[in-house]
Amino acid sequence: MAWVQRPRMTAPATAGRAIRAGVRLCALWAMASGAAWAWRLPELFRYAPDTRQGEAYLRQAWQVFRESPAVRQGPSGAPVVVQILFDPDCPFCHRLWVKMQPYRHSAMVIRWVPLAFVRPSTLGKAAAIVTARAPLQALAFDERHFSMARRAGGMLPLYRVAPAIRQAILRNTRLLTRLDSLVPTMLYRDKGRIGILAGVPKASRLAGLMRRLAAQSSETARGARS
pLDDT digits (tens, 9 = 90+) for 81-118: 999 999 999 999 999 999 999 998 888 899 999 999 88
Q: Among the CATH numbers 3.40.190.80, 3.40.190.150, 3.40.30.10, 3.20.20.70, which is that of 12-225? A: 3.40.30.10
Residue 29's Cβ-side half-sphere holds a number of Cα atoms within 13 Å equal to 16
Residue with more model confidence, 28 or 117? 117
Q: Rounded CA gap, 206 and 96, in Å?
A: 10
Grade residue 26 by pLDDT with cuts at 50, 70 and 90. Answer: very low
State the angle between helix axes of 52-66 and 163-178 in degrees (0 to 180), rounded to the nearest 10: 160
Sheet of 185-190, strands arranged across: 71-73, 109-114, 80-86, 185-190, 193-198
- Using an 8 Å Cβ cutoff, are 196 and 186 in contact? yes
Average pLDDT over residues 5-12: 40
Q: Where exactly are the structural domains of the chain?
A: 12-225
> Other CB atoms closer than 10 Å to residue 7's CB: what's the count?
8
Give the pLDDT confidence of 121-169 residue by residue, as tens digits.
899 999 999 999 999 999 999 999 999 999 999 999 999 999 999 999 9
Confidence at residue 29, expressed as pLDDT on a 0 to 100 scale: 40
Does residue 15 have a pLDDT over 70? Answer: no
Q: How far is CA 188 from CA 28, 65, 69, 217, in A?
A: 27, 12, 17, 11
Confidence at residue 33, expressed as pLDDT on a 0 to 100 scale: 36
Residue 128 phi/psi, 5-degree rounding, is: -60, -35
What residues form DSSP beta bridges with 187? Answer: 83, 196
Does residue 49 have a pLDDT over 80? Answer: no
Does residue 13 have a pLDDT over 60? Answer: no
Does residue 17 have a pLDDT over 80? Answer: no
Confidence at residue 224, expressed as pLDDT on a 0 to 100 scale: 57
pTM of the prediction? 0.77
Grade residue 77 by pLDDT with cuts at 50, 70 and 90. Answer: confident
Q: How far is CA 91 from CA 19, 52, 77, 181, in A?
A: 11, 34, 32, 16
Beta strands 185-190 and 193-198 are antiparallel
Average pLDDT over residues 6-25: 44
Q: How far is CA 21 from CA 2, 5, 26, 43, 198, in A?
A: 12, 9, 9, 17, 15
Confidence at residue 79, expressed as pLDDT on a 0 to 100 scale: 84
Confidence at residue 216, expressed as pLDDT on a 0 to 100 scale: 86
Give the pLDDT confidence of 172-218 residue by residue, as tens digits.
998 888 776 678 999 999 988 899 898 999 999 999 999 999 888 77
